[in-house]
Each structure stands twice: as structure tokens, then as C-alpha cells.
Amino acid sequence: MKLYDYVLSPSCYKVRLMAALTGVKLEIRPVDFHPGAEHRDPEFLALNPAGSIPILEDGVLILTESAAILAYLASKTAPEWLGSGAPEEVARIQQWLSFAHRLTSSLGGARLHEMLLRPGDIGALQAQGIAALRELEAGLVEQGLRGMRFLASDRPTVADIACFPYVALAPDGGIPLDPYPAIRLWSRAIRGLENFIEMPGIHRLHELKSEPNVEPGDA
């Protein structure tokens, strides 16, 4: 499998992380996303007319949406990442996969504005990002009351991987994570997974300072 990848892209990182966690070997094709805008070249537009990355090639199959790529990688080698198949769990996974798009547009938009000087209303982007984080915090608190550490189940699923990168990188867009103890505990649980890999700005668990002993139900 070949991944067209930009090392600073959280959406590309989702795919690299999912591959690492499921033992999938990827051939990485670096893309000069910034400043070269290589993803707008004819070669890439032929693969993905939307001009976005990541792009995954597996033989004749070409996938261009990160959620679809996560599901594909999991279904090929580690279907437990797709959940148990119970109707409630399936619905929760789909709900959080859809929610991940809001994280991309809000937290991701704020990060692009602050780091790559992309045009945008930074105040509005940050307000949308904070609203999304509050919603995520509430969801994780509810899961904690059910005795579950992850978004849809008692074990991580593709939903957690879809949401994690843009949340972890929220401070790059000027949005601190200090007010969200349940999110911080969830983030640590993901960082503690076997075969977790990092990207610039997202460190391994042992490189983080200790979190206060806060239970999600105390938030």
C-alpha cells in the first residue's frame, strides 16, 4: 500500500497511526503540501480531483477520505477496531467519525491559520473548536460513567483515531486543552497504546508530564 503523505498533516497522521496500530506496512510517498502545493499538481488531481491528502493506493483501489482509509486498514488486518457490531456501538462509531469532520474544519482551520497563515476568521474558528471540545468532553464523561475510556467502546476503535490528532494539536491553533480533564485522560490512553507512533507536536506517553488524578466523572 502506498500513502501520499505530508508529515505535518493530522489527517495523514491518522492513517500512519492506524497502520502502526494494526501492523500494516505502508510505502510513504511524501507530498510537498506546503509551501510547494504539490497536491494541486495534475498527477495528484488525477488521483483525487478534490486536491486533498491523504491518498491511499492499494493495487487498483484508490481511497481519498481519511475515515474510509481507517476503516479499510482496520477491516483488512484488525477488524476489532471497527467495533463489536452491536447496533449501539456501530452508531456511536459512525457518530464520532462524522464529528471528526467538525474537528478538522474548526481545530484544523485554526491550526492552519496560526501555523501556515491560511486566511480565515481565527476568532470564529477558535469558538467552533472550543464548542467541539466541550461536546467531546461531555461525550467522554458519559463514557466514563459507563466505565469506558474510549469514545464508542471499552476499547479503542477507528472513531478514537479519527478524532485524536486534531484534538491533540488544538494548542497549535491557540486552543488549550487544560479545561478538559476527560479529553486529557483519553489522549493519554491513546498515547499509551502498544505500537503508538508520534508526529511533530504529538509525543509519546512517556514524554508527557503526569496528569492530575482526575476521573472523568469529576469534570
- pLDDT tens sequence across 14-54: 999 999 999 999 999 999 886 767 778 888 889 899 888 99
**Could you tell me the sign of the dihedral formed by the alpha carbons of 160, 198, 184, 130, in that order?**
negative
CA distance 122 to 139: 26
Residue 210 phi, psi dihedral angles, 5° rounding? -65, 140
- Residues in the chain with pLDDT values less than 50: 212, 216-219
**Residue 219: predicted pLDDT:** 42
pLDDT, residue 178, reads: 95
Phi and psi torsions of 84, nearest 5°? -80, -15
DSSP class of residue 41?
S
pLDDT for position 37? 75
* Amino acid sitting at position 146: R
**Distance in angstroms (rounded) separating the CA atoms of residues 146 and 34:** 43
Residues 152, 92 contacting (CB under 8 angstroms): yes
Contact 167, 103 (CB under 8 A): yes
Cβ density class 74-113: b for 16+ within 10 Å, e for less: beeeeeebbbeeeeebeebbeebbebbebbbebbbbbbbb
What pLDDT does residue 207 have? 63
Integer CA distances (angstroms), 208 to 29, 150, 187, in order: 30, 20, 11
Architecture of domain 2-80: 3-Layer(aba) Sandwich (3.40)
What are 166's three cell numbers? 486534531
pLDDT at 94: 96
Q: What is the mean pLDDT of the chain?
A: 92
Domain locations in the chain as residue ranges: 2-80, 83-218
Distance CA 72, CA 11 (A): 15
Is the CATH number 3.40.50.2300 carried by domain 83-218? no
